[in-house]
Amino acid sequence: MFLSLVLLGLCICVIILQLRPTRPKNFPPGPPALPILGNILHLNLQNPLEDFEKLRKSYGDVYSLFLGPKPFVVINGVKAMKEAMVIKAAEFAGRPQDTFVNDVFDVKGVILADYGASWKEHRRFALMTLRNFGLGKKSMEERIHDEIQHTIKTLDESTGKTLCPQVMFHNMASNIICQVLFGTRYEYDDEFITTVIQCVTEITKIINGPWAMLYDSLPFIRNLPLPFNKAFKDTKRSSDLVLRLLNEHKKTRVPGEPRDFLDCYLDEMEKKAEDSTFSEDKLIFTALDLLFAGTDTTSNTLLTAFLYLMNHPHIQERCQQEIDKVLEGKDQVCFDDRHQMPYVQTNENKQTKEKKLFECLFIQAVIHESQRIANTVPLSIFHCTTKDTELAGYYVPKGTMIVQNLTTVLKEEEQWKYPHEFNPENFLNDQGEFVKPDAFMPFSAGPRMCLGEGLARMELFLIMVTLLRKFKFIWPEDAGEPDYTPIFGVTLTPKPYPMKVQHRL
């Protein structure tokens, strides 16, 4: 009997050892992994960012973990990030295909598609179409300014009162991208906009939450009625709404005269190239990709910016002084004002008028610092290797999942003057000139860099300058101390906070 128990124990030990994940030769180091579970117990599934930082201190800038039986590599710091995403960009440009986020969006959009002909074709088309619809051009500026007027109306009605700006900024960002995609702006109580914002909020919370990690680690739970199923339902609700818009477009469009992104895509489909990868399914999910990405990231950056500006009134006041000087005599700001514009100043000694150049240096620094401190997508979107390769001297096989810890780049102590505090001087040199350090990567880097970078930069500049020119934003006296700790998800979201608004003279 005793011998039988010993043999049974040995068999169990052998099975456990066989199931225990092992690292390939010269694979990045990391903590020992458990059978089946991998390194789940090393991470706080609600928010793993602090755990990632602790592991970096133990194992270096490039280390590995196991998500169940699957290994993934975490990249930290500017040096390793640039090697992977810039120098060896094509080798790290894949997307892991058997993960929760891929299953939720059915891998039919442009953001999550694997690195290949279809992805390249769709990304090229999306970039070209966004440019054609006014990125960097007056038409896009007009759309943004039109939407800002609706926000100004909300703020006018709230003057002297306390409001919560979360819904206001989400609606603003969502409506701007809706105009590009669907040619329509929606009233803030419209079913489409309210449903989309609700779905975006819920999906982003789930995707980088504990249930998504369990879904990826333990495939046998995927068919169970667990909370992660809510993300699938929300995606279906959103895709049904876009399908309804698509069907309306097909009835009213004039071929060759596109009104928006949907029309452009339908025109492209009608070309019927033999090797084309365009389809209605991919159109729906590409539109959802752009809508989701263009809503949450911009609104969360704005929320972060105004949270800090209210609690750093001297920075807000300096922004307003610069805005007043640059925009003197102008009805509204334009995107080119971020570089330089001439203004006329009287020289008291010569009693003549000189034309000088004044640049929006400080407001540019504040906007970039808001993006840095917001760290909106802290782990980016997961990549995977497209071939066997090396990183920092380690061997990384084809198909290995790659996690970019952008927090370590945006707050790397060797790269920033004030890495852990909100300070626009992170983007100003000793002469007070605007500079952008190599470590500024809020949109990631390489061929997978954020599609909407151009639109986001324009939105942030026009919105912040316009609102700061007209209003003073105040932290309510009865609100207590501000809590800067964000809510973790695919994006970092500031906790809901109150805001008081006053008109500036």
- The DSSP line for 383-436 is EE-SSSEEETTEEE-TT-EEEE-THHHHT-TTT-SSTTS--GGGGB-TTS-B--
pLDDT at 233: 92
- Rounded to whole angstroms, how far apart are CA atoms 337 and 332? 10
Q: What is the DSSP string of 454-492?
A: HHHHHHHHHHHHHHHHHEEEE--GGG-S---PPBPSSS-
- Give strand ranges (E) for 151-241: 162-163
> Does residue 292 contact residue 173 with C-beta atoms inside 8 Å?
no
Q: Domain segments of the chain: what residues?
A: 39-503
- Centroid of chain to Cα 488: 13
Q: Which helix (H) or strand (E) holds 196?
A: helix 191-207
> Does residue 43 contact residue 77 with C-beta atoms inside 8 Å?
no
User: Splitting the chain (505 residues) into consecutive groups of 10 residues, what average pLDDT does each group show?
Assistant: 47 45 90 88 85 95 91 95 94 86 78 83 87 65 90 92 91 90 85 82 77 81 88 90 92 89 90 78 89 87 97 95 87 72 37 47 92 92 93 95 94 94 93 88 85 86 95 94 88 93 90
pLDDT at 106: 73
Strand ranges of the sheet holding 401-404, from the earlier edge strand across to the other edge? 62-67, 70-75, 401-404, 383-384
Q: What is the pTM of this model?
A: 0.87
- Rounded to whole angstroms, how far apart are CA atoms 493 and 484? 10
- Rounded to whole angstroms, how far apart are CA atoms 318 and 163? 24
User: Alpha carbon of 339 to those of 1, 26, 475: distances in Å?
Assistant: 84, 48, 30
- Rounded to whole angstroms, how far apart are CA atoms 70 and 68? 6
Closest to 396 measured CA to CA, from 98, 37, 86, 75: 75
- Rounded to whole angstroms, how far apart are CA atoms 359 and 434? 9
Q: Which CATH superfamily is domain 39-503 in?
A: Cytochrome P450 (1.10.630.10)
- Rounded to whole angstroms, how far apart are CA atoms 297 and 455? 11
> Does residue 326 contact residue 484 with C-beta atoms inside 8 Å?
no
pLDDT at 55: 96
pLDDT at 350: 40
CA dihedral sign, ordered 232, 237, 238, 239: positive
pLDDT at 302: 97
- Rounded to whole angstroms, how far apart are CA atoms 52 and 42? 9
pLDDT at 20: 57
Angle at 267 between CA 264 and CA 269, to 5 degrees: 110
Q: Which helix (H) or strand (E) holds 126?
A: helix 117-132
